[in-house]
Structure 1
């Protein structure tokens, strides 16, 4: 089972939100647009639990996220997304996913509930796909 269907649903939701923001906020200030972008485009439901998906599916979500920001700011399609995110003080999808993974991982590690503690200490969790995805998102491994 993969998380592709969930990512596709989130992409569709994000497209609807982005189109609504673009339509309703054409005369808003840049600051208001960025605040609306933060409040409506940062929450990607259950993204910290995605562990098995096609890279192409996640890339479509990233392209959608980048496109919404560019359309809100009326930037050309060929302009740099990373520069637009940096100049406007908003997080990219990769940063949002890292924050979500860190937050959930921290909460799982702090819980003292006996069931969560036993799951957390099991080899299925320690070596499982979610833990591996979290480690991949949160840590950069230098090889060589």
Structure 2
């Protein structure tokens, strides 16, 4: 109740394009972005199939690497993260017309394009940089604390350990 009015309780809602769930997990929003990435990549692959690789790479970078609201993702399952990573790789293959079995690291390196992990690290770093540069006193207070859980999460995000 709020001022005598009954409030509806919902399991999720979309706010500024980001899906917020009752449990504050990010898997649903990651799935939203995975599907949106699939749509964008398929559209590019169809409309620009006859363009040069350079044009396709430029279009991929412009339309498929934004990963809208990914800087807000803080609590998600490895399954949701991997599903998005696989979709990102498949999107690049589709746009360039590459076979499904080609190496993801090789295709990104050959195209001088950031892989999924690099893109996510850049997005997280950009958010931390914007928070630290903000004139907002609340954000400045958060950014100045090196032990802030969210800043620690952003700084440690997508760090590979135990690569063998």
Q: Same fold (TM over 0.5)?
A: yes
Return the alpha-carbon distance in structure 1 between the equivalents of residues 138 and 160 of structure 2. Answer: 30
Does residue 86 of structure 1 match 2:109?
A: yes
Gaps of 5+ in 1: none
Does residue 134 of structure 1 match 2:154?
A: yes
Aligned length: 139
The RMSD of aligned alpha carbons is 2.1
The more displaced of 70-79 and 88-97 is 70-79
List structure 1 segments (4+ residues) > 6 angstroms apart after TM superposition. Answer: 138-142
Gaps of 5+ in 2: 1-23
Does residue 37 of structure 1 match 2:60?
A: yes
Matches within 5 A, 1:60-75: 60-75=83-98
Larger Rg over CA atoms: 2
1:1-55 Cα deviation digits (max 9, x unpaired): 2000110000010010011011111111111100100000010111112110011
Q: Which has the higher contact order (CA 8 A, sep 6+)?
A: 1
Return the alpha-carbon distance in structure 1 between the equivalents of residues 28 and 43 of structure 2. Answer: 23
Q: Is the 8 A contact 1:33 1:72 kept in 2?
A: yes
TM-score normalised by the chain length of structure 1: 0.86
1:77-123 Cα deviation digits (max 9, x unpaired): 1110110001011111111111111111112122243222233356x
Say which structure is richer in strand: 2
* Corresponding residue of 2:143: 120
Say which structure is richer in helix: 1
Q: Is the 8 A contact 1:34 1:88 kept in 2?
A: yes
Q: SS of the residue aligned with 2:157?
A: helix
Q: 1:89 to 1:117 in 2, by over 3 A?
A: same
Q: 1:82 to 1:104 in 2, by over 3 A?
A: same
